[in-house]
Copies of this chain bind each other. A is one copy, B any other.
């Protein structure tokens, strides 16, 4: 790594870390974020019937990370909304994605090669946000590792960590799951990234910030583009977690992801760990279902 920063790669990393995000990269971030909003069931109806709620949801998707970080650090929740140009840009994207005649804009940005470019650029923004968030938290709490990690995590994960609030705004309520229970790849990667950037910030990781941003961005972009292109929901951390979690916690949180993907196969999880945390009633039904299955197998 020392070597890397000595080479011309180091200079590349430095100049990469100085590329301004506004407006091109931010635009990509807004497009991909609001695309994911449009994928939500009922989102199109919502935009037709309740444009104000739909616009607020779009703003949460675009600026959720700032809102959460401001909440954690005791700053005005609405602080980022003073950037009129960003908000106007996000609003324009929202309008084009939901109300463009013939759905032209949506069809263009959904075209896979185009979408992959935007997805890649979104990850550039995400990594930069994590780095900036941790720098900001470090400014307030010089030795507050947990504060830095938390700030970096919410800056990277964004609306995912406030999905209950976002759903509630749309009149949807799914209390039995949340992003902390079932982490998606970006949320998990943001957490690991926040740990890395915190180590860098506190000088435990002997690399320059620019290099770390460069390497971590490369990692995120390649992973996310691959996952998006293959419509996969697995995660490159599964292998690592498969080794670590049984040692540390008796059973794995990575393992859970496997479970979702290939329901039938793996009898790896020990007994008593089969049911995720559901409300009592749902769990009973599930339990009953399992019992019936076992009875059938016995037959």
Q: Is the CB of A50 within 8 A of B143?
A: no
Q: Is the CB of B76 within 8 A of A140?
A: yes
The answer to whether the Cβ of A253 comes within 8 Å of any Cβ in the partner chain is yes
The answer to whether the Cβ of A265 comes within 8 Å of any Cβ in the partner chain is no
Q: Which residues of B contact A42 (CB under 8 A)?
A: 277, 283
Given known contacts A77-B71, A77-B74, A82-B146, A251 and B180 CB-to-CB distance under 8 angstroms: no
* A142 to B171 alpha-carbon distance, docked (Å): 34
Q: Which residues of B contact A1 (CB under 8 A)?
A: none
The answer to whether the Cβ of A62 comes within 8 Å of any Cβ in the partner chain is no
Q: Which of A133-169 contact B (CB under 8 A)?
A: 140-141, 143-147, 150-151, 164, 168-169
Given known contacts A74-B79, A78-B72, A147-B82, A48 and B171 CB-to-CB distance under 8 angstroms: no
* A239 to B1 alpha-carbon distance, docked (Å): 66
* A150 to B177 alpha-carbon distance, docked (Å): 30
Q: Tell me the smallest distance from the CB of A200 to a CB of chain B, in Å.
A: 18
* A78 to B69 alpha-carbon distance, docked (Å): 10
* A251 to B99 alpha-carbon distance, docked (Å): 10
Q: Which residues of B contact A289 (CB under 8 A)?
A: none
Q: Which residues of B contact A46 (CB under 8 A)?
A: 277
Q: Which residues of B contact A78 (CB under 8 A)?
A: 72-73, 144, 146-147, 150-151
The answer to whether the Cβ of A236 comes within 8 Å of any Cβ in the partner chain is no
The answer to whether the Cβ of A245 comes within 8 Å of any Cβ in the partner chain is yes
Report how many copies the assembly holds: 3
Q: Which residues of B contact A180 (CB under 8 A)?
A: 50, 52-53, 56, 169
Q: Is the CB of A178 within 8 A of B183?
A: no
Q: Tell me the smallest distance from the CB of A259 to a CB of chain B, in Å.
A: 9
- Scan A252-268; emit 1 where CB is below 8 A from any B CB, else 0: 01011000000000000
Q: Which residues of B contact A249 (CB under 8 A)?
A: 47-48, 51, 99
Q: Which residues of B contact A140 (CB under 8 A)?
A: 76
Q: Is the CB of A147 within 8 A of B81?
A: yes
Given known contacts A73-B78, A78-B150, A175-B173, A143 and B277 CB-to-CB distance under 8 angstroms: no
Q: Is the CB of B172 within 8 A of A279?
A: yes
The answer to whether the Cβ of A20 comes within 8 Å of any Cβ in the partner chain is no
* A71 to B183 alpha-carbon distance, docked (Å): 26
A residues apposed to B, CB below 8 Å: 41-42, 45-53, 56, 70-79, 81-82, 84, 87, 99, 140-141, 143-147, 150-151, 164, 168-173, 175-178, 180-181, 183, 191, 245, 248-251, 253, 255-256, 272-273, 275-280, 283
Give me 7 A-to-B residue pairs in the complex whose CB atoms sit less than 8 angstroms apart, sorted by A's number.
Answer: A50-B180, A50-B181, A74-B79, A169-B178, A170-B277, A171-B276, A173-B175
Interface pairs A-B: 8 shortest CB-CB: A173-B175, A74-B76, A82-B144, A81-B146, A48-B251, A171-B277, A82-B141, A72-B78
